[in-house]
Amino acid sequence: MDKNLQKHKGLTSKEAEEKIKVGGYNEIPSQKKRGFFVILWEVLKEPMLLLLVGAGTIYFFLGEPQDALMLSVFVVFVVGITFYQQHKTERAVEALRDLSSPRALVVRDGIRHRISGREVVVGDIIALQEGDRVPADAAILKTINLMVDESLLTGESLAVSKSVWNEIKKIEDNRPGGDNLPFVYSGTMVTRGRGMAQVVAVGVNTEMGRIGKSLQEINEEKTLLKKEIRRLVGIFASVGAVLCVGVVLFYGFFRNDWLEGVLYGITISMSMLPEEFPVVLMIFLALGAWRVSKHKVLTRNTAAIESLGAAEILCVDKTGTITMNQMDLQMIVSGDDYLDLAKYNDDENPLPEKFHFLLEHAMLASQDDPFDPMEKEIRRIGEYFLTTGMQHSDWKLIKEYPFAGNILALSYVWDYGDGDHYIVAAKGAPESIANLCHLDDRQKQIIVEQMRPLLNSGLRLLAVAQAIIDKNPLPNHQHEFDFKFVGLLGFSDPVRPSVPGAVQDCYRAGIRICMITGDYPGTACNIAHRIGLKNPDQFLTGDDLRTLSESELRSRMETVNIFARVVPEQKMIIINAFKSQGKVIAMTGDGVNDAPALKAAHIGIAMGERGTDVAREAADLVLLKDNFSSIAEAIRTGRSIFDNLKKAIAYIFAVHIPIAGISFLPVAFGMPVVFSPAHIAFLELIIDPACSLVFESEPEGKNVMARPPRKLDEPLFNRGTFIISLLQGVGVLAATFALFYYVLSTGRSEEEARAITFTAIVFSNAMLIVTNLSWSRVGVSILRDGNKALYWMLAAVSITLAAVLFVPFLRQVFHFAAISLADITLSFMVAFASLLWFEIFKLFRKS
């Protein structure tokens, strides 16, 4: 360090400008943005979108603008969603950059200036005051009782003290957390005191910057549903292509009419075109996000809802997620007596007088208007239990002794107005207070024994001492007072009330809960007992993660649910270790240190109220009310969405078989064609809202939270579902084609046969919707207990079908002839008969 820095005069303005030119601003740079056409090309490489674009283009040139427009809308919609997802990582990094660039008070040209945090450079001297956010990583040059909340980086809620840099220690060799370190870190908060520090790292080189860089390097994985939908799209596209080519070749070689062959080939392709799959997935997840929002959960990535329903392991950050991230004075100890403050909370059960003295001096050793959370709690409790006279608001503060060296204690000297004496009140770490009291080894051992049950309960401890001195010149060091030990204060970070119940809900759903924390194992195990975590006495530490071999770690992680003294990078190790076992991982957190793990997990869940912007931007879900039980509700919704989506996919598969079959078989047998693009478009108007709105609105099953998570290798469309859907579709196809053949054989016109067959297909479509809403309840029960969307859909289908059959203009557009009520009844009975077998199958399946 050069001489002018040693004198705390800082850099000159010119030196700062030169450093910015060379090293850049103190911010985390945005990731390189991809251009519009690059993203568009990546999207259009998807086979499904290529089919949509190709079909829309062909129909446009063939004079079918309505069909082309419909397909184009789907293309634009899906492309828009993809653009939104591409910017997700960028927003997370921008939020981190904003947090890491607060206003800063720096010394430039020997004068203090308030500047933007992004203008801070290496070598700057920064002034730190209570309530300031640290603008960069820096070494402490001067400290007066300086304490910093580093929970954003460490996950530990207790502020840590700072010491003066000895110009030997290197910041890269020291990690955030722990008392008496000579470094402060970008983004952390000063909770007490003041100090001066020299900046040693800015931007991406800070502790927070390294986290931001790791966010950019994490690749998001395709969700299980997206992979499954893509596979189904490929199957449908292949079948459609084969049928299309077959029809074109048939017309070309056997009828010598290539143009008509192309037209009917495109019609068949359209009947098999699987545009419903991605649209249905998108709508299900979007509406699912809306339903989850009712439980105060904001969905930032809709695909996470499905993944959450399949989650097998929930990794939970302790501080701020399981606990409240605040200090609650729970136990006080005076002599051999322990007092649980929760039992003394009203006038009917006043606090015993012997504890008044302890609280009185704890308040005297705290600031009048504190920023530190522990001092806030001391003042709150003192004002509640002590009389106004014992709070001593009229006493005069003479001198404050801050932390010094290895003495993690502070003392306040008070003039109480009478006599020739001062009162000195001190509080701090128990071992430091014991040293101030000049206790011998036996007396120290007694205090250690008093501390043991409190530490085993996971409490953070402070000790309080008192001295009475003459009004003579005060000593330079607080160690020179003749202190008497007064007692102990035990603070807890309270467990959120909703957590134990939510943990049990997750266990009933077959979801394993793991706690990850930077706190000590004893505290973590105590919390685990309180929330009902399984194996609460087994744990792994950060040191274990570094020293255990891969096989040893994998073996231990099969039963251990507590990971203590873990640094941010090790959270990633834990997440990746679980992912390597093929597990679906959900991760909750609220701090900057949680952001990489939140992004790396299959589902990242951030706490909204106490969480940082960085955590919220990196997460897929945000709990707006920090209610842990909302996670269980989100899991319930995710499972229900998958169940209903499975029904919708089965319905789509089944309904496309008769539509494609009725388009293809008449051509193959040399009969009049039934469907044109207008008919297909009409049926799509039924299929799309039915398989999205109706199936999505179906209530959840009774056992949705009483079964294990879906296995990773369980497909959305498994063999059993395929067989049943195939039989449904083939049954409807056989019945409607037989009806078409029968009507033609009776000598009726082509237009009449088309109208009757089309009506039967529409009825069959509606019945397929009803019967597939439940594979356990019969149709009558489904209609009786049906959701409102089902009723609206059936009404809309009935009205629209009546208009097509009875309005002359629409009949002409659809190439129909007028048919009688008897013909409509016949169509209904054929449709009913085609699916009667499945209703009977349900009865046998239930029994």
What is the three-state SS of 71-131? HHHHHHHHHHHHHHHHCHHHHHHHHHHHHCCCEEEEEECCEEEEEEHHHCCCCCEEEEECC
261 Cβ contact partners less than 8 Å away, ≥ 6 residues apart: 247, 248, 249, 250, 251, 252, 255
- Average pLDDT for residues 211-215, to the nearest whole number? 63
Note the pLDDT tens digit of each residue in 276-302: 666 677 667 766 777 777 777 777 776
pLDDT of res. 288 = 72
Query: Residue 481 — φ and ψ, nearest 5°?
Result: -80, 155
pLDDT of res. 149 = 82
- The radius of gyration of the chain from alpha carbons, rounded to an integer in Å, stands at 36
Alpha carbons within 13 A on the beta-carbon side of 284: 34
Task: Give the pLDDT band of residue 512 (cuts 50, 70, 90).
Answer: very high
User: What is residue 472's DSSP assignment?
Assistant: S
CA 714: distance to chain centroid? 24
pLDDT of res. 363 = 93
Task: Give the pLDDT band of residue 214 (cuts 50, 70, 90).
Answer: low
Checking if the pLDDT of 594 tops 80, the result is no
Note the pLDDT tens digit of each residue in 222-248: 555 667 777 777 777 777 777 778 777
Checking if the pLDDT of 513 tops 80, the result is yes
In percent, how much of the chain has pLDDT > 70? 78
Checking if the pLDDT of 81 tops 60, the result is no
Task: Give the pLDDT band of residue 358 (cuts 50, 70, 90).
Answer: very high
Q: Quick one: 569 exposed, middle or buried, by C-beta within 10 A (0-12, 13-18, 19+)?
A: middle
Checking if the pLDDT of 715 tops 80, the result is no
CA dihedral 374, 378, 380, 384 (to 10 degrees): 160
Q: SS3 of 685, please?
A: helix
Task: Give the pLDDT band of residue 483 (cuts 50, 70, 90).
Answer: very high
Min mean pLDDT across 31-45, 175-189, 489-503, 680-694 is at 31-45
Is the model more confident about 256 or about 577? 577
Min mean pLDDT across 514-523, 726-735, 813-822 is at 514-523
Checking if the pLDDT of 307 tops 70, the result is yes
Q: What is the mean pLDDT of the chain?
A: 79
Note the pLDDT tens digit of each residue in 455-468: 878 788 899 999 99
Per DSSP, what are the bridge partners of residue 173?
none
In percent, how much of the chain has pLDDT > 90? 20
Q: SS3 of 177, please?
A: coil
Checking if the pLDDT of 138 tops 80, the result is yes
CB 142 within 8 A of CB 164: yes
pLDDT of res. 341 = 87
Task: Give the pLDDT band of residue 102 (cuts 50, 70, 90).
Answer: low
What are 379's two structure tokens?
A: 């003042």
- Average pLDDT for residues 406-414, to the nearest whole number? 86
Neighbour count for residue 288 (Cβ, 10 Å): 26
Checking if the pLDDT of 94 tops 50, the result is no
Report the amino acid identity of residue 376.
K
Note the pLDDT tens digit of each residue in 539-554: 998 889 888 888 888 8
User: What is residue 7's DSSP assignment?
Assistant: T
- Determine the Cα–Cα distance for residues 822 and 306; give it in Å rounded to an integer: 46
Query: Residue 469 — φ and ψ, nearest 5°?
Result: -130, 160
- Which of 298, 260, 214 is CA-nearest to residue 600? 214
pLDDT of res. 92 = 38
CB 154 within 8 A of CB 379: no
- Determine the Cα–Cα distance for residues 713 and 691; give it in Å rounded to an integer: 24
Angle, alpha carbons 327-332-337 (nearest 5°): 160
- Determine the Cα–Cα distance for residues 260 and 249; give it in Å rounded to an integer: 11
Checking if the pLDDT of 78 tops 60, the result is no
pLDDT of res. 4 = 37
**E strand spans, 171-301:** 183-184, 189-201, 297-299
CB 795 within 8 A of CB 803: no
Checking if the pLDDT of 59 tops 70, the result is no
Say which residue the tokens 């956010």 belong to.
Answer: 133
- Determine the Cα–Cα distance for residues 789 and 743; give it in Å rounded to an integer: 34
Task: Give the pLDDT band of residue 3 (cuts 50, 70, 90).
Answer: very low
Alpha carbons within 13 A on the beta-carbon side of 359: 28
Task: Give the pLDDT band of residue 67 (cuts 50, 70, 90).
Answer: low
Angle, helices 750-772/788-806, rounded to nearest 10 degrees: 180
Q: How far is the CA of 644 from the CAs of 27, 228, 306, 657, in angstroms?
A: 46, 15, 11, 21
Q: SS3 of 143, please?
A: strand
Report the amino acid identity of residue 259.
L
Note the pLDDT tens digit of each residue in 152-183: 677 666 678 888 888 888 887 777 877 788 89
CB 176 within 8 A of CB 518: no
**E strand spans, 471-546:** 484-492, 512-516, 540-541
pLDDT of res. 732 = 94
- Average pLDDT for residues 515-523, to the nearest whole number? 81
- Average pLDDT for residues 398-420, to the nearest whole number? 83
Note the pLDDT tens digit of each residue in 816-842: 899 999 999 999 999 999 999 998 888
Task: Give the pLDDT band of residue 742 (cuts 50, 70, 90).
Answer: very high
Min mean pLDDT across 156-165, 274-283, 336-345, 359-368 is at 274-283
Q: How much helix, strand and coil, in percent to the nearest 5, is found in the chain?
A: 55, 15, 30
Note the pLDDT tens digit of each residue in 8-57: 677 888 888 888 888 888 876 554 455 556 655 655 555 445 545 655 66
- Average pLDDT for residues 466-490, to the nearest whole number? 91
Checking if the pLDDT of 142 tops 60, the result is yes
Give the ranges where 548-628 is alpha helix by DSSP (H): 550-556, 568-580, 595-600, 613-618
What are 736's two structure tokens?
A: 């409607």
Note the pLDDT tens digit of each residue in 554-566: 888 889 999 988 8
